[in-house]
Chains A and B, each alone.
Chain A
Amino acid sequence: MTSPVLAATGLVKRFGGFTANDGVDIAVGAGEVRGIIGPNGAGKTTLVNMITGVERPNAGEILLGGAPIGGLAPDAIAARGLVRSFQVARVFGDMSLVENLLVPYLARRGRLAEGEARARDLIGRANLARLADAPAKTLSGGQRVLLQVAAGFMCPQLSVYVLDEPFAGVNPVIKDTILDLIATERRERNVTFVVVSHEMDIMRRLCDRITVMVEGRVLLEGTLEEVASDPRVVAAYLGKPLR
């Protein structure tokens, strides 16, 4: 790996007496798709929250393209190119799909007409064209996930996209659509992805490398085949072999 686009070292996050992240190190190379797996409560979302400015780390450093971003507000981090999706899909319910996608575009002072053209193109690729001008609150759960993922691609400055459980509870068609969007953006804009997921089939297809987290620490890192055969990973998943 050349110098990493996103690097965190020694990240610690405590909630009262509970240590959710206990010295996490992770480095992701430019253009890589990195998967993060681990049992529930392993601290994956806490790590995502610290990287994206939602939670402030108690200790540690986060570098984006070599510059420190630890402790910055989420909008300042997004402005530097690091954008995220949330585990529970968050959309602007009273705004139309097109308007939802315009928000990140206009936030970077994009022009309305160009933004709308891009938004409609993206909505078309997400198979939501029929609903383009409907309020987002009328979408189904899976469609909301799709819209939320699409919104990140509307950020002109996007360089690292952190997706927190984008495949949880969505049907196979929508999963494939999300995978298509990721593949296209990766090819066309060389976006780096960090994907938190439990879906091993998808992670196998999608990710170059996998980071396994257990109890607030990084257990190991490698290709999915490497980590899946590691006995400690098997033990962490309560004896269930990863498939």
Chain B
Amino acid sequence: MSALSARRLWLPILLALACAAAILVLSRFLGEYGVHVLNTSLYYVILAASWNVLAGFTGRFSLAHQAFAAIGAYTSGLLATRYDLPLWVTIPAAVLAAILLGFLLGRLVLRMRAVYLAIATWAFAETIHILLTAAYAITRGELGLSVPPVFSDMDPRSYLYLFTGLAVVSVLGLHAFVRSPLGYFMRAIRDDELRAQSLGVDTVAIKTLVFTVTSGVAGLAGAFYGHYVVVLSPQIADFSEMAKIIVMVVVGGFGSFVGPLIGAPPVQILSSYLAKYGEWDMVIFAVVVIGFMRFNPGGLVDLVRAGWRRVRPTRS
């Protein structure tokens, strides 16, 4: 039996369900604020995991991921408040909007070289941020847009089930995505795009697909997040959000599938409890990121693997 195709299919599902169970058990010991931090952590797990597929696996360092979360949140929020549509209509519509804009932006920027792609996506994200702030009549700008919640009692514990389910589905979906033949093409494009192309890989199509799918996932997370925090502000599209996603992925392990999953929660937990000191958390994260980049570029995943190799009983 060949080694690659025999890779177990049920293992990631089992692992994801075990993590979900652990989160739900852990929440029993937490107060309301603790559960809220868990909810936001799960939101960032989805954003970090999907950005990592684009940046870590495919090598397209987009700086617009938070903008797609914002597009998801505002599309669903505006449809729900202005047209009184139910959330089961507005959330899928929000995902579609993120997919569509992701496709269009992807077509525009994916032929660019790395630095230009980063600059162009950053400019797009800033445009979205400014639009949300300036289009006051529609978005209410910095005052915030009140949107309906998913659960009328607004209990964070109800949302915990929602975000856990959402994270499990998104992460398993992304995992299937990178384990499919497409995953081989993504990594080939990251390592040497011209070589991939010369071996018959339609690199433009693959890059566009990855950009579109990951934008859609960000839009999905953003839409649900909006109906959780219930007041939308342009802050969701701010560059500091993108910076946070990058920090999570670098701390966890850039380009490793598990990396962002274990990188996002500690960063978000730390960030939540440092919130009372204002923007200082970003200073701390900057130091942490530089430390990881310099001394352990593989992130937490690498540390865990190295530790495991030490304690693992040697097999004969």
Contacts and interface: CB of A to CB of B under 8 A. Distances in A.
A133 interface: yes
Nearest to B199: A104
Contacts of A86: 195, 198
Interface string A136-180: 000000000000000110010100000000000000000000000
A92 B191 contact: yes
Given A95-B188, A112-B5, A116-B3, A107 B200 contact: yes
B192 A113 contact: no
B145 to A, nearest CB: 43
B314 interface: no
A52 B198 contact: yes
Interface in A46-104: 52, 54, 73-76, 78-79, 83-84, 86, 90-95, 98-99, 102-104
Contact of A75 (B181, B197, B255): B197
A94 B298 CA distance: 13
A54 B191 contact: no
B195 A99 contact: no
Contacts of A120: 2
Given A106-B184, A106-B185, A117 B2 contact: yes
B198 A99 contact: no
A117 B200 CA distance: 20
20 contacts: A74-B194, A74-B198, A75-B196, A78-B198, A79-B200, A83-B200, A92-B188, A93-B191, A94-B190, A94-B191, A94-B255, A95-B184, A95-B188, A102-B4, A103-B185, A103-B188, A104-B199, A108-B200, A113-B5, A155-B199
A86 B3 CA distance: 30
B32 interface: no
Contacts of B255: 94
B198 A106 contact: no
Contact of A91 (B5, B194, B195, B201): B195
A102 B185 CA distance: 9
Contacts of A157: 200
Contacts of B3: 116, 133
A90 B194 CA distance: 9
Interface of A: 52, 54, 73-76, 78-79, 83-84, 86, 90-95, 98-99, 102-104, 106-109, 112-113, 116-117, 120, 133, 151-152, 155, 157
Interface residues of B, number: 24
Contacts of A75: 196-203
A41 to B, nearest CB: 22
Task: Identify which of A52, A102, A103, A112 gathers the most chain B CB atoms within 10 Å of its CB.
Answer: A103
Given A75-B203, A102-B184, A54 B198 contact: yes
Contacts of B196: 75, 92, 103
A167 B97 CA distance: 52
Please list the 10 inter-chain residue pairs (A to B) with the smallest Cβ-Cβ separation, ordered nearest first.
Answer: A78-B200, A104-B199, A92-B191, A90-B195, A106-B181, A107-B200, A113-B5, A116-B2, A74-B197, A75-B197
Task: Identify which of A76, A112, A152 gathers the most chain B CB atoms within 10 Å of its CB.
Answer: A112
A104 B197 contact: no
Contacts of A117: 2
Contact of B5 (A84, A99, A116): A116
Contacts of A84: 198
B195 A92 contact: yes
Interface string B258-274: 00000000000000000
A107 B201 contact: yes
A157 B255 CA distance: 32
A86 B195 CA distance: 8
B187 interface: yes
Nearest to B187: A95
Interface string B192-225: 1011111111111000000000000000000000
B280 to A, nearest CB: 36
Given A120-B2, A155-B200, 7 more contacts: A52-B198, A91-B191, A92-B188, A93-B192, A104-B199, A116-B5, A117-B2
A10 B184 CA distance: 38
B188 A152 contact: no
B297 to A, nearest CB: 13
B200 A99 contact: no
A157 to B, nearest CB: 7
Interface in B206-247: none
B17 to A, nearest CB: 25
A92 to B, nearest CB: 4
A83 B199 CA distance: 7
A90 B192 contact: yes
